[in-house]
Amino acid sequence: MAYASDIRTSEGGIADRFAALTKSVGARFARYKTYRRTLVELASLSDMELRDLGLCRSQIRSVAYEHVYDAH
């Protein structure tokens, strides 16, 4: 029985690691901006509008967080 294996290292150069880091930071910042925008939009709604959505004011942060970070 013969086995073939292909082993590659995932080590990239410093430029590859820096590019990955900047991409990761950029993605995190974009998600944070979406979270903040969602928070502001929900907070600007009146209590009656929130009630129509089935929310109360104390749920705004958790709903915004779930919308941005839990939904992939």
Decide if pLDDT at 72 tops 60: no
- pLDDT of 70 reads 87
Decide if pLDDT at 6 tops 70: no
pLDDT in tens, 9-31: 666 789 999 999 999 999 999 99
Closest residue by Cα to residue 71 from 35, 43, 39? 35
Q: What Rg, from alpha-carbon coordinates, does the chain have? A: 21
pLDDT in tens, 39-58: 999 999 999 999 999 999 99
What is this structure's pTM? Answer: 0.71
Decide if pLDDT at 71 tops 60: yes
The helix, strand and coil proportions of the chain, stated in percent and rounded to the nearest 5, come to 70, 0, 30
